[in-house]
Each structure stands twice: as C-alpha cells, then as structure tokens.
Amino acid sequence: MSDHDDAQSHVKLYWMIGAALFALTIATVGVSKVHLVHPWGLIVGLAIATLKAGLVAAIFMHLKWESRFIYYFLGVTLAAVIILFAIPIWDFEYLRPLFVEHADVAAQGHEAAAHPPVHGAEAPASSHP
C-alpha cells in the first residue's frame, strides 16, 4: 500500500472515530444527568473518558501503528504516572485519619479561617482535662 492510499484509507477511520467521540460525549453528559448511585456515576464517567482518550491516542495519535520503542517509552511514562497518583493519594488516605481535623480546616478555606479562635480555645481545654 502506497503512502497515498494509506492516508486515504485512514481518512474514513478518522471520521468514524470523530463520530464515536461525539457520541461518547453525549453519553457522558447524559449519564451524569441521571444521577447514578454514588460510586457508579464516577466509575461510568471515568470509564467513558478513558475510552475517549484511548481512541484519540490509538487512532489520532497513531499509537496503533507506532513502533515498539515508543510503546516502551510510554510504558515508563505510565508507570511514573501511577506512582504520581498512588503515592500522594495513599499517603493522604493513610494520614487522614490521624490529621482529619487539619485536612478539613485546609479544605474549608475561608470558612474555617473565620473560626480559628474556637479551635484555639478548645485545644488547651481538651489537653488539660
């Protein structure tokens, strides 16, 4: 197959992938509108996003036809990303029960900042029963 034919045969595929991405976008908005039970909305939403990203990477970014060298390279990247996600989240999940008050104070921002004297007053009281 010549390069010209190759490019032309891919054109049809590009349009199909584009249509699939449009349909999946409608699906993800629709799913988020029906309020699934707690973890399922998140799981379905992320699954659709991952599928869309996979289609873009495989077809539009030509990874389906890419050389093995790029695959190895992206494998290392993927491992680094997993570490990047797993360690802070695991650390946070492990430490959170120990410092749950601090985490909430940080997350509440201004609301929490408006009440620091209350926390300040409680702390010494509870440490000297």
Partner 1 sequence: MSAHAPAVQSPYENTGVPDGKLAIWLFLASEVMLFGTLFTSYIVLRTAAASWPRGWDVLNVPLATFNTFILIASSVTIVMAHAKAAARDKKGFMLNMGLTVLMAFVFLVVKYFEYSSKFAHGHYPSTSIFYGIYFTTTGLHGIHILGGIAWNLGLMWWANRDGWDDRLFIGRVEYAGLYWHFVDVVWIFLFPALYLL
Exactly one of 46, 79, 114, 118 binds partner 1 (CB under 8 A); which one?
Answer: 46
Cα 41 to Cα 23, 34, 85: the distances in Å are 18, 9, 21
Q: For partner 1, which residue of 40, 79, 92, 123 counts as binding (CB under 8 A)?
A: 92
How many residues interact with partner 1 (rule CB under 8 A)? 57
- With beta carbons less than 8 A apart as the criterion, state whether 28 and 48 touch: yes
Site track 5-44 with partner 1 (rule: CB under 8 A), x = hit: -xxx-xx--xx-xx--xx--x--xx--xx-------xx--
One symbol per residue from 71 to 90: x for binding partner 1 (CB under 8 A), - otherwise; what is it?
A: --xx-xx--xx--xx--xx-
Sole binder of partner 1 in the list 34, 37, 57, 124 (CB under 8 A): 57
What is the rounded end-to-end Cα distance, in angstroms, of the chain? 84
Take residue 20 and report the two structure tokens written for it: 């699939």
Q: How far is the CB of 129 from partner 1 (least distance, A)?
A: 27
Q: Does 121 bind partner 1 (CB under 8 A)?
A: no
* Among candidate residues 122, 120, 83, 108, the one with its CA nearest the CA of residue 100: 108
Task: Give CA–CA dist 3/61, Å, rounded.
Answer: 17
Residues 44-52: contacts with CB within 8 Å, 24+ apart? 48/24, 51/24, 52/21, 52/24, 52/25, 52/28
Q: What's the min distance (Å) between Cβ of 51 and partner 1?
A: 10
4 binds partner 1 (CB under 8 A): yes
Which of residues 75 and 120 has its CB atom nearest to partner 1 in the complex?
A: 75
